[in-house]
Structure 1
Amino acid sequence: MNLEDINAVSNLLSKPQNIVIVPHKNPDGDAIGSTLALWHYLKTKGQKVHIVVPNDYPKFLKWMPGHEQILNFEKENSQAKALIEEATVIFTLDFNHLGRIGQMEAILNDSQATFIMIDHHQAPSDYAHYMYSDVSMSSTCEMIYNFIEFLGDDEKINPEMAICLYTGIMTDTGSFKYTSTTSRTHRVVAALIDKGAENTKAHNLVYDTNTPNRLHLLGCALKNMVILEEYNTAYITLSQDELETYGYQKGDTEGFVNYGLTLHGIFFAVIFIENKEEGIVKISFRSEGEFSVNEFARKHFNGGGHTNAAGGRSDVSLQETIEYFVSILKEYKAQLNP
């Protein structure tokens, strides 16, 4: 974020505003952590501020300070619309294209508010008046820490903000193991712990709240894993019937795709999840090294994300999606055999 934009945003926030903070559809730990931390921060500045999420999010994130104040656009539609229509400033966090917010896209497109984007994904669109976009960042939560620091307010970071930011960084870095984790990330995390983030509590509440159904679903997913040694690739499938058999709840498949990368010699891992209600197959891609799943997802599966972590979707059946995926791997054989 350049100095001119920092000064402009600082001036904007020095006056009373009606602010709405919006994360992407199906918000994850980084999205919820960053929105809640920013909400707490803006409240310390005396701003009128609300969070509107496009849809529900996993139960294992519904403990962070302030989570009960979050409005679900699907369930609290009238109230959410009214807040967005009244907004003078809208922060969009952890996404960079309005297509990522589902049915909220139309109302945000019509808004006359000043938009501020804070995000670390590739290929941002240009809807925002002020943009803090940096693909080298580990997480949007690390960027929110920087944003507060840019405005000279890092002393305002309290334990509530700190644990929200810590949780988002923790989840988006795979507990600090991804290559996006830098020495700066660790310095930020250390500062957050010093400011009151209870790191063990965050880890336990996110990762140690499994249900028997989720573990049985994980067993099903691992049983379905297919290994394509020729391409150093592993993929998992989960059908709608399998999800229903194990009482699937939102967030239950979080992290399943990463198991493929724990196999020796596997550099590309994918999970295909059938969603008959939406008529799509939801896809998550992970990779190690230089193979860009962002480019792969954008080219073949209407998706995108980061170099080593991306998402996508398919509008054909689960079986047809898998067949198409396997058929195009030959184009990438050289890249997948480093």
Structure 2
Amino acid sequence: MILKGFEALKSFLSKPKNIVLIGHRNPDGDAMGSTLGLQHYLTKKGHKATVVVPNEYPDFLHWLPGSENTYRFDWQNSQSQKAINASDIIFLLDFNALHRVGFDMQKTLEKYPNDFVMIDHHQQPDDVKYMYSDVEICATCQMVYQFIEMNNDLDLIDEAIATCLYTGIMTDTGSFRFRSTTSKTHRIIADLIEKGAQNDKIHNNVYDANSYGRLLLLGQALSNLQILPAYKTAFITLTEAEKKKFDFQKGDTEGVVNYALSLKGIIFAAIFIEDKEQHIIKISFRSKGDFSVNQFSRNHFNGGGHDNAAGGKFNGSVEEVITTFKELLPTYKNELNRSYEI
């Protein structure tokens, strides 16, 4: 764990400040839950807090308390720039490096004259003045809870804060099933429920709000599934044409890679998604056991994340990324075979 400048930050925040909170590009449940949850807390402390995200986030997160007041940098650029320029400090939540917000927003943040606070659980964070980093914690939302706890303010957590933080922890732990989910995580979840988080409602809003097109897209993805038993590996592909055919919306591919990992005998899974807007192949990796997809992605696909969950990107076609991926696997065959007892 890295806890840097915490006492100085407490002193800085002892008087009302103008604060901006930023999540990573293509925000997920943890990014939205942590930014909105912390926004509600800081507002209760007397600060003016504004959430700015780089781009659109999934429709199944738009119900989160405070979501309607969030600025999108790509769409509401003037409002976002105004909020950033007027702020006394910026919180960076659920990402470890400025490039994770996208090129345009990165350039804006690199010119920012004031200080950053980073609260994040990804490996190899950039160095900023104030930092709370812990790669052992399952979700940034849990870190926000613990940040509030460090300030002796757990009594300030209300239903809105509890709902946001519960959502982020639930989504980043795969509904509390990943290895990073600890007994402390469950104790925090219990407290969030006691403080007003309606666990059944949250789960329904996130996981049981599928469009017809999203389910058809999932069917297409599963029909594209390929298994490489010699490497205990499986992967899924989705082309731009397939996405368009089923009226793809932001968030529709969230969690699809986990279906590949759920196969018996598989310990390494990937999904390759063509993204014409960014001119890349977006990649998500998942693993079981000791095989680090974080290191694999850093080494070969300009990405990173956690040991068992990481992302990356590839400049080329779907066919080319599949060829590259398959060519890499023999190098890792021994690691894959001893990674996990099946």
- State the TM-score bracket (shorter-chain normalisation): over 0.9
Cα drift, residue 10 of structure 1:
1.3
**Do 1:88 and 1:112's aligned partners in 2 also have CA atoms closer than 8 Å?**
no
1:111 match: 112
| In 1: Cα distance, 2:160 partner to 2:35 partner | 12
3-state SS of paired residue (2:294): helix
Q: Report the residue type matching 1:295 in the other structure.
A: Q
* Structure 1 moving runs of 4+ over 6 Å: 1-4
| In 1: Cα distance, 2:314 partner to 2:42 partner | 39
Residues 1:94 and 1:4: Cα distance change in structure 2 (over 3 Å): closer
2:33 match: 33
- Deviating more after overlay: 192-201 vs 6-15: 6-15
2:280 match: 280
**Is 1:101 aligned to 2:101, yes or no?**
yes
| In 1: Cα distance, 2:329 partner to 2:7 partner | 48
**Do 2:2 and 2:133's aligned partners in 1 also have CA atoms closer than 8 Å?**
no
Q: Report the residue type matching 1:146 in the other structure.
A: Q
| In 2: Cα distance, 1:277 partner to 1:160 partner | 34
5 Å-filtered alignment, 1:1-338, equals 5-102=5-102, 103-126=104-127, 128-338=128-338
Cα drift, residue 141 of structure 1:
0.2
Aligned pair count reads: 337
3-state SS of paired residue (1:334): helix
3-state SS of paired residue (1:283): strand
| In 2: Cα distance, 1:296 partner to 1:274 partner | 20
Q: Report the residue type matching 2:250 in the other structure.
A: K
Residue identity over aligned pairs, in percent, reads 56
Please give the TM-score of this superposition, normalised by the length of structure 1.
0.98
Q: Report the residue type matching 2:85 in the other structure.
A: E
| In 2: Cα distance, 1:337 partner to 1:236 partner | 21
3-state SS of paired residue (1:336): helix
Q: Report the residue type matching 2:119 in the other structure.
A: I
Q: 1:19-74: CA deviations, max 9, x gaps?
A: 00000000000000000000000000111110100000000000011110100001
Cα drift, residue 317 of structure 1:
1.1
Unmatched 5+ residue regions in structure 2?
none
| In 2: Cα distance, 1:238 partner to 1:221 partner | 6
| In 2: Cα distance, 1:300 partner to 1:135 partner | 21
| In 2: Cα distance, 1:2 partner to 1:337 partner | 33
Q: 1:184-217: CA deviations, max 9, x gaps?
A: 0000000100111101110000000011111110
Cα drift, residue 16 of structure 1:
2.0
Please give the TM-score of this superposition, normalised by the length of structure 2.
0.97
| In 1: Cα distance, 2:245 partner to 2:141 partner | 35
Cα RMSD after superposing both structures: 1.0
| In 2: Cα distance, 1:2 partner to 1:109 partner | 23
| In 1: Cα distance, 2:226 partner to 2:131 partner | 41
Cα drift, residue 324 of structure 1:
0.5
Unmatched 5+ residue regions in structure 1?
none
| In 2: Cα distance, 1:31 partner to 1:83 partner | 19
Q: 1:262-311: CA deviations, max 9, x gaps?
A: 11100000000001221100000000000000000000000000000000
Q: Report the residue type matching 1:269 in the other structure.
A: A
| In 2: Cα distance, 1:49 partner to 1:114 partner | 15
| In 1: Cα distance, 2:19 partner to 2:113 partner | 12
| In 1: Cα distance, 2:175 partner to 2:8 partner | 35
Residues 1:3 and 1:310: Cα distance change in structure 2 (over 3 Å): closer
3-state SS of paired residue (1:181): coil
Q: Report the residue type matching 2:260 in the other structure.
A: G
